[in-house]
Structure 1
Amino acid sequence: MNGNKELIDALNQIEREKDISKEILLEAMENSLVAACKNHFGKADNIKVNINRETGAVNVYAEREIVETVADPVTQISVVEARLKFPRNDIGDIVNVEVTPKNFGRIAAQKAKQVVVQKIREEERKVLYNQYYSKEKDVVTGIVQRYVGNNVSINLGKVDAVLTENEQVKGEHFRPTDRIKLYVLEVKDTTKGPKITVSRTHPELVKRLFEAEVAEVKDGTVEIKSISREAGSRTKIAVHSNNSDVDPVGACVGINGARVNAIVNELRGEKIDIINWSEDPAILIENALSPAKVVAVSVDEPEKSARVIVPDYQLSLAIGKEGQNARLAARLTGFKIDIKSETQADEIGW
């Protein structure tokens, strides 16, 4: 078939602009044309299609065996005919006979267009997937689109993400066009493009927000050692400074509470307790029960449990509403915490 320089020029342009390999496109075209040959020849097992890489000329070849008497003209060629075309070959040899159909130019042009469109879609989908896969386990800003049942559709720029009911903070409601921060839980590659699941309840959301808001956390001067969260209500974080001149709690709170307040506002009023981390479990537990004051802490490290005594008037504060303060402190420290008032401790002989 005559050359098709326009095809090669177009593929070169696609390679430059879309970063899709010309060779991959040409191989895909050749494969699709082999499949098209099946309709023409009845089978395609012995058919090869070659597209000239310089001129774009398309040629179809059939592998045929040279035989004395032809029983199957699709897979065999007579020795008499073969000697005219392939004088160096003999009976038993396999030769490539050109069998390019007359109307093959039109078929090739159609297939070329289909393959290019499909490959561009695949490549664009792959680029999108890679772009958002790199954001997995990170925070992104999205714009609320609409509720789909109990789930929320969030636009992240080039794709929409799904905020499922399980990953929503109880009592948090959104309006279309609301801008919200989200933690990217998972990015899956699908035929329709990346499927992205996001969360508003994950503890890592709070951690990432501090990294974005607090320079000392971002550069590693201040470390968030532990975090426990009851989304929408309260979070406790334990912080440690790798520089003795930097107060980790102060850095996270900011001047007049500016830094922590920005995060509280993003989380729509969720309370955040920031405490000093300590390698000493007793000190850590005492800090974790803040804002309650603690009289004494007795730790059983092998059992990962602790007994805590607080002033009588601080008991309800230490335990918290519906046990929340004690529960978050236990999760933050990794210890089971038993809290008693001074009067209760005296009565049971602690």
Structure 2
Amino acid sequence: MAKKIETKELNYEKQFFKSILEYSVNHNISLDSVIDVFNQQTTKIIKKKLDQDAEIVYELDKKNKIAKLYNLYVSVVDNDPEIIRDIENNPEIRFYNITLNEAKLYYPEVKVDDIIKAPVSLSWISESKNSNIKLIAKVLFNSIVQGIKLLEKKIIYDKYSCMIGQKIMAEFVSQTDKGNWNVILLDPSGLHNVSAFLPRSLLNGQRDIKRGQKLEVVIESVEEDTKLSQIKVSLDSPLMVEAELKENIPEINEGLITIYKIQRKPGERTKVALKKTNSSNSDFDLHGAIIGINSNRINSIRSKLNNERIDIIEYSDDLITFIKNALSPAKVIDILKKEEKNNDYYVIVLKESITTAIGKKGVNASLASSLTGTHLDIVDTEKADELGLEYDKNALSLLSQFNYSSNKKVNSNNRKERKNNLTSFDFNMDTFDKDVAAFELQEQEDNNKYSDLNFDELFKQHEKELNELEKEQEETISEELAKEEIKKDIKNYKKAKKVIEDFKIDDDLTNFGLDKNIDLSDLNDEEW
């Protein structure tokens, strides 16, 4: 019988040694940390179920590949036959009592009632005649597993909580019925990968992801303790845009530009509000820094976002200006604060600009609203007049005067080369006035076209037009910058006349290559 118990004890010691090493290697946890968990959890259960004074420790014998268990507080008892008989019938008693004869094997000078460190074995629990005592082993094993899980969660939290907003490569493992993805974050070493969760809400529905595919994701959040995946990642959240901006725009890392806020509708549109810092010069070109030479920077970012449309918005401390900027590319006549609510504003636009201001499925307006922290009620001039809103009529006149209708849009892919250049720049003010008159006539036709539509019908009509418009008018941000410059030149009609009347060819233009063919035919006011 004694031989059988010794064999069982040895098996336990070998199993514990193997378990401790495997936990350490497989979960990337230090050996000492794993041993601490075994010590704490075993002590906790033994104290609760068997001996309230116990303190259990595991010691590894790497040579013999066994893990020995010890109780630091075992009481030495007399070699009384009755006590010995009691221990033999109830082996679990050996966890806290040891006979004098056995104690002398470890400490020759020991006496009765001394407290010593003595070896113990879980086999004593499994050999107990008490069914409740036998259950301690199962409870203990579960407690150790739980302790390891908690330790692993702490390690994951400590490592990844400081990586929120950073990109990391992930492998897509499985997709749930609701469209969420379980992914594995790939450790550069390839040894210690961690599972993560990508919710459907942070994934562009237009993406066609395959099981086993590897893509860069951004760490959104890390929970310290949860029954689900600790790490939530995204493929199409604002944090992905922020990470790409920081990676591609050195001026951000240099402290010349600050990312104020990002709002995103994955797969459709992103608005990025940026502001110049005090470290930048007054003439620092914020838009140029983001776009880069030949649009290389912004195109690099867009390529990693499935060519998603990105609006670069310059932040302003003046809320009205910020709202106007945020509604880009829409042209805004005026913005009026609603009296009844603090953050509600009327946005007045031309009827022809309703489509651009609202955007497909309301995306442009909703993103602008979120970006500025306001609620925007976008109305055309007719509605504004019905409501009795007093808006800037001068701005209305200027916008109406230079509003190019969408049907004059020329597809850039079918653009014909202009034969004339600045060296043969030849037109007079009569021609210019005729052009303006033609624009005004076209505006009147457009107004008549929509005069019988109410707001809802107008929205539906423009929704349909926008789908067609977006297919034809996909353009790079560099083109938008060019339009912004042109917009500044034509805001005041009288100033435009004077510029043309006084126009002279400057040799500096030739030096910078600006006397080449310039085609402005594809500029459309609804894209400004």
Q: Is the 8 A contact 1:296 1:308 kept in 2?
A: yes
Residue 258 (1) aligns with residue 296 (2): yes
Deviation sequence 1:109-152 (CA, Å, 0-9, x none): xxxxx9xx989998777655533333234332324345454333
Deviates more, 1:277-286 or 1:163-172: 163-172
Q: What is the TM-score with the length of structure 2 in the denominator?
A: 0.48
- Higher-Rg structure is 2
Question: Residues 232 and 87 from structure 1, CA distance in 2 versus in 1: closer, same or farther, beyond 3 angstroms?
Answer: closer
Partner in structure 1 of residue 385 of structure 2: 346
* Cα distance in 2 between the residues matched to 1:53 and 1:348: 83
User: Mean Cα displacement is larger for which, 22-31 or 242-251?
Assistant: 22-31
249-258 or 327-336, which deviates more: 249-258
Give the structure 2 partner of residue 248 of structure 1: 286
Residue-by-residue CA offset, 1:21-66 (whole Å, 9 max, x unaligned): 7597389479869999xxxxxx767777788999999887840356
Matches within 5 A, 1:147-296: 147-149=175-177, 150-157=179-186, 158-176=193-211, 178-188=213-223, 195-242=230-277, 243-244=280-281, 245-296=283-334
Contact residue 299 and residue 305 of structure 1 kept, 8 A: yes
Instruction: Please report how far the alpha carbon of residue 182 of structure 1 lies from its aligned counterpart in structure 2 after TM superposition.
Output: 2.0
Residues of 1 paired with 2:117 and 2:386: CA distance? 102
Letter in 1 for 2:289: A
1:345 positional shift: 2.8
1:327 corresponds to which residue? 366
**Structure with the largest fraction of helix:** 2
Q: Which residue of 2 aligns with 1:313?
A: 352
Pick closer, same or farther for the CA change 1:218–1:144 going to 2, 3 Å.
farther
Equivalent runs, 1:28-43 vs 2, <5 Å: 28=38
Q: Give deviations 1:196-241, integer Å, cap 9, x for gaps.
A: 3212343232222212221122333211212222121111111101
Q: Deviations over 1:60-116 (max 9, x none)?
A: 78403569997667688999x99xx99997xxx722478769xx9xxxxxxxxx9xx
Letter in 2 for 1:95: D
More strand by share: 1
**CA-atom RMSD, angstroms?**
5.0
2:35 is the counterpart of 1:25 = yes
Compute the displacement of 1:333 (Å). Answer: 1.0
Whole-Å Cα distance in 2 between the matches of residues 161 and 137 of structure 1? 15
CA distance in 2, matches of 1:132, 1:186: 9
Counterparts of 1:31 and 1:349, CA distance in 2: 74
Corresponding residue to 1:95 among 114, 117, 126: 114
**Residues 198, 348 of structure 1: CA spacing in aligned structure 2 closer, same or farther, 3 A cutoff?**
same
Indicate conservation of the 8 Å contact 1:142/1:156, yes or no.
yes
- Return 5+ residue gaps in structure 1 as ranges: 1-6, 37-42, 105-113
The verdict on how the C-alpha distance between 1:300 and 1:223 changes in structure 2, with shifts beyond 3 A counting, is: farther
**How many percent of aligned residue pairs carry the same amino acid?**
27
Amino acid of the residue matched to residue 140 of structure 1?
Answer: I
More deviation, 146-155/57-66:
57-66
Which residue of 145, 159, 164 corresponds with 1:136?
164
Instruction: Name the CA distance, whole Å, in 1 between partners of 2:44 and 2:225.
Output: 27
Is this contact kept in 1: 2:59–2:68, CA < 8 A? Answer: yes
Aligned to 1:298: 336
Give CA deviations for 1:153-203 in whole Å, capped at 9, x if unaligned: 433212343323333212221135544332223334689996432123432
Match of 1:4 in 2: none
Q: Distance in 1 between matches of 2:183 and 2:40?
A: 41
* Structure-2 residue corresponding to 1:111: none
The alpha-carbon distance between structure 1 residues 76 and 254, as it changes in their structure 2 partners (threshold 3 A), is closer
Aligned length: 318
